[in-house]
Amino acid sequence: MKCKIGIRPVIDGRCGGIRESLEEQTMNMAKSAKALIESNCFYSDGTPVECVISNTTIGGSAEACKCEEQFATENVVATLTVTPCWCYGTEVIDINPNTIKAVWGFNGTERPGAVFLACAVAASAQRGLPIFSIYGKDVQDLGDTVIPEDVKQKILSFAKCAIAVGQMKNKTYVGLGAVSMGIAGSFLDGNLMQQYFGIRSEWVDMVEIDRRINLGIYDEKEYEKALSWIKANCKEGIDINDYNKPRIVMTKDKLWEYIAKMTVIVNDIMFGNPKLKEMGFPEEANGRNAIAGGFQGQRQWIDRLPNGDFMEAIMNTSFDWRGKKEPFILATENDTLNGMSMLINKLITNRASIFADVRTYWSPDAVKRVTGWTPDGLAKNGFIHMINSGAAALDGIGACKDENGNACMKEWWKITKEDIKATMDNVTWSQANLDYFRGGGFSSNFKTIAEMPVTAVRINMIDGLGPVLQIAEGYTAVIPDEVDTILQNRTDKTWPSTWFVPNLTGEGAFKDVYSVMANWGANHAALAYGHVGADLITIASMLRIPVNMHNVSEDRLFRPHTWTAFGTKDLESADYRACKTYGPLYK
């Protein structure tokens, strides 16, 4: 059963005229909120988010208990309490410690909905139940059924983030392999996953992939379909290797065959495949109920076998040989922390997320010295090179077009055949650098061809503190082709490349582009489409993960009301104290 949002219409329980006069207005608020959420929020599979309204208005504890019993059968993960009037605070609030909570109090003068909201906030704070407070800026007339824009924004932010939290719960993160090249983020921490995200952890040795290939434990027809699509659509790019050196690597045809099998098999490991049961492999058919995963690759696997670049790139992309499909998060180098950053990006935006190294800061002076070009436009203050070994989601090319012809990264269900063709026309698959990848493989080679709004994200683990989140809103920059070539060739000309320009505030970590790079907490980042920093801060507060670096203006922040009790002047410090006080969501 999909996770849902429960809507609780609470009311002044005094019968004999008061309650009766408010029944219709109160229930209409609930219906309006339900319609708003269901028409604007979506699960990751593209279907509308489902809301459940309490069977009755709630005027006291008896009805509150009946509502809780109803919601318990509906997999409600978050509740939105709505009211236009005064209600009896502790008798009607949601006291379930396992739901994420918000209250919308109608801003009117005839009935004190705002007074109840304040009462509910105070009661919830005393009982250790953080709630999001929603209250319109402008007074409305008693009969006004229109939801103001500022209220809509908060309801939708709450709903979108709460459903993202709910979709993670009781799913599995599958780590294929172990720690890659000493990267600490590759360590799959079961306690982190369980306590902060409600996610199971499962460790699968990479040899399982090779076992299934050798024993034929995969859908042959699916493999043939994938391989046929690869041959028809994946143009091979440059090969920079020196074959005078001793090499032990498959032929290119054999590499593609093995890679296609890898990709099909990892899909089966994550999600299961009923076809395998028909073939006599019921255990393998089950899959692992995965929502995300990672692939170690380096070094033990890639020293002998093809790298995971194609597999990772195509699984993270919004299409493959089956056509458009939901992107599945598969983190390069098994970087679990970046994988979870990508997952949150995906669930917030319903779009693919780009895995990248935070590779190089290019100052304007350095660019001019190396290329002769003086950066201008978005790039005038310098830029950060986001690049990795060919495993980035192809959506990051920026070849998709919206209804106005603008480059974008789309929700996966809006991807068209024209988008797929345009994307594949802008990527080649270069033979992997055999000095790095001794078993061979193919790396996606593209550059981001359009200026797009993006948000860089990273979860980091700090000893004694726990997880923290970094956020940097900005844009992808497009630089002249000849400059791009010179800079790209200094790193690896077979890899995908995105030039990232963070929005600057002139202060702290966002004083300049160099400071953003200098304050980034790890060697990897996940890029989300759009400026979604505000939603990321909201979901971080739900998960009790403090945000240690962001460039989101204060007027866009939306956290539980009780965060104000931890300080209103230094909001970053207040966030840390609140998260520490309440602890992980699933403690």
- Tally Cβ neighbours within 10 Å of residue 326: 15
Given 202, 222, 357, 473, the catalytic residue = 357
Tell me which residue of 161, 91, 155, 156 sits closest to 120, measured CA to CA. Answer: 91
Q: Strand 290-295's sheet: what is its strand order?
A: 200-204, 172-176, 290-295, 329-332
> CB-side exposure of 573: number of CA atoms within 13 Å?
5
Strands 76-83 and 100-105: parallel
| DSSP per-residue string spanning 305-319 | S--SHHHHHHHHSSE
- Rounded to whole angstroms, how far apart are CA atoms 514 and 361? 6
189 catalytic residue (yes or no): no
CA–CA distances in Å: residue 517 to residues 157, 384, 448, 502 = 29, 7, 20, 10
Helix (H) or strand (E) run with residue 157 in it: helix 149-168
Given 333, 335, 411, 492, the catalytic residue = 333
Token readout for 81 is 């309490």
201 φ/ψ angles, rounded to the nearest 5 degrees: -115, 140
For residues 454 and 503, the answer to whether their CB atoms sit within 8 Å is no
- Tally Cβ neighbours within 10 Å of residue 82: 28
Helix (H) or strand (E) run with residue 244 in it: none
Tell me which residue of 271, 9, 292, 21 sits closest to 168, measured CA to CA. Answer: 292
> Following CA atoms 117, 26, 11, 140 in sequence, which dihedral angle do they give, to the nearest 10 degrees?
40
- Rounded to whole angstroms, how far apart are CA atoms 453 and 407? 10
357 catalytic residue (yes or no): yes
Strands (E), 347-462: 354-362, 383-387, 400-401, 407-408, 428-431, 442-445, 453-462
Helix (H, G, I), strand (E, B) or coil at 447: strand
471 φ/ψ angles, rounded to the nearest 5 degrees: -140, 135
Q: Using CB atoms within 10 Å of the CB of residue 377, give its burial: 0 to 12 exposed, 13 to 18 middle, 19+ buried.
A: exposed
> CB-side exposure of 85: number of CA atoms within 13 Å?
26
**Residues that are catalytic:** 333, 357
